[in-house]
């Protein structure tokens, strides 16, 4: 094989049932279920030339010394131990996110998934890998980079974590969850409340769950909620989904408050916005519900049919200065070649 170039993309995802608490190598303490996004994504330009298995990785033209690049180098070394044929090439990878730098949106999921997707595109040229197994492998290695990244390979809904009665479920990789067609065009408008770096990283949050007195009950509840969520996704019952994602988001943030080393990641404006969304829904009966990641930004989930009403409302809210920016995203199908 001589040198060649190509580009890949992988989107971010937003968890409906959260992964919060893990063992070594991102083995989750409970199953999680997420919606794959479309517009918030990482694009990786790959240049592959004959060589010795080196990787030159830059993120938004920053050099190889950032924490993320170091993680990518580690992951690459791990993939090469299973696939030593990669040592016949040198890789030059230019990585960019479509969403603004420091917008408060976690980029490790899309970043890891997009990198691993690209590496497996190269491997595919050398070996014929079965499509289903290929996605599992890509998800598996993405997980080793960052847990939630394993849910960014496919879409629109992905579950990750062993679940009784679900024979394909696994702690090692994400698998597609069946969904009602009415959910294929779900929208997610992300209200950016703060662009400051997180006070506590996700990795630290997962670690603190080991000492949280409520962990055992949390893991049990999350397992049951994941099973219920899969039912709601299948039947397309959006009000049930909405009620559950709101309760789940608040439970995630309650866990942060209840450990031996309490902390909170919401901002006062996150709470103001939550109140405003609940009020808006009550007054208009428009099905729009919120969820939060481990940060202050709000994700508003709603069906495409009510998009214009929700966008109007977001516009009317702007003068109150409760959020800095808004990013409109929607359900997507995962990573792909560009
Ligand atoms: C709150 O996947 O970022 O977003 O595995 O340590 O990289 P690491 O953590 P990460 O954790 C994500 C936590 C979450 C919930 C979720 O996405 O399920």
pLDDT tens track, the chain, 338 positions:
678 999 999 999 999 999 999 999 999 999 999 999 999 999 999 999 999 999 999 988 776 668 889 999 999 999 999 999 999 999 999 999 998 766 667 789 999 999 999 999 999 988 777 777 999 999 999 999 999 999 999 999 999 999 988 888 999 999 999 999 999 999 999 999 998 888 899 999 999 999 999 999 999 999 999 999 999 999 999 999 999 999 999 999 999 999 999 999 999 999 999 999 999 999 999 999 999 999 999 999 999 999 999 999 999 999 999 999 999 999 999 999 99
Pick the residue whose CA is nearest to atom 7 on ligand 1.
Answer: 146
Please give the pLDDT value at position 104: 66
Please give the pLDDT value at position 64: 65
Helix (H) or strand (E) holding 252: helix 238-257
| Omega within 30 of 0 (cis) for the link into 179 | no
Nearest-atom number in ligand 1 for the CA of 18 is 18
Ligand 1 site-directed mutation target among 13, 18, 19, 67, most atoms within 8 Å of CB: 19
Ligand 1 site-directed mutation target among 34, 144, 148, most atoms within 8 Å of CB: 148
Q: For the chain, list the strands marked E by DSSP.
A: 4-17, 22-23, 27-28, 32-50, 55-59, 89-97, 157-160, 174-176, 186-192, 289-292, 298-303, 325-330, 336-337
293 within ligand 1 shell (Cβ under 6 A): yes
Cα(206)–Cα(202) distance, rounded to whole angstroms? 6
């Amino acid at each position: 094989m001589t040198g060649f170039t190509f580009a890949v993309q992988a989107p971010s995802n937003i968890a409906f049932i959260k992964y919060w608490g893990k063992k070594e190598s991102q083995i989750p303490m409970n199953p999680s279920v997420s919606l794959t996004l479309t517009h918030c994504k990482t694009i990786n330009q790959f240049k592959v030339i004959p060589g010795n298995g080196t990787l030159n990785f830059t993120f938004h033209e920053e050099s190889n010394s950032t924490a993320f690049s170091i993680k990518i180098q580690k992951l690459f070394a791990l993939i090469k131990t299973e696939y030593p044929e990669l040592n016949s090439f040198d890789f030059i990878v230019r990585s960019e996110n479509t969403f603004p730098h420091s917008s408060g949106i976690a980029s490790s999921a899309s970043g890891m998934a997009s990198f691993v997707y690209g590496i497996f595109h190269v491997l595919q040229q050398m070996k014929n890998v079965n499509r289903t197994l290929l996605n599992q492998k890509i998800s598996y290695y993405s997980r080793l980079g960052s847990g939630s990244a394993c849910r960014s390979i496919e879409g629109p809904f992905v579950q990750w974590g062993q679940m009784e009665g679900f024979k394909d479920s696994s702690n090692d990789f994400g698998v597609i969850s069946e969904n009602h067609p009415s959910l294929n065009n779900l929208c997610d408008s992300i209200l950016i409340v703060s662009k400051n770096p997180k006070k506590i990283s996700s990795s630290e949050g997962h670690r603190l769950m080991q000492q949280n007195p409520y962990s055992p009950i949390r893991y049990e509840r999350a397992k049951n909620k994941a099973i219920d969520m899969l039912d709601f996704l299948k039947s397309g019952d959006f009000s049930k989904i909405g009620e559950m994602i709101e309760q789940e988001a608040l439970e995630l943030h309650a866990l942060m408050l209840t450990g031996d080393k309490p902390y909170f990641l919401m901002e006062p404006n996150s709470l103001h916005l939550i109140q405003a969304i609940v009020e808006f829904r009550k007054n208009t009966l428009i099905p729009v519900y919120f969820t939060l990641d481990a940060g202050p930004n709000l994700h508003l989930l709603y069906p495409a049919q009510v998009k214009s009403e929700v966008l109007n409302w977001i516009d009317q809210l702007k003068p109150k200065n409760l959020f800095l920016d808004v990013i409109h995203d929607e359900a997507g199908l995962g990573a792909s070649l560009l």
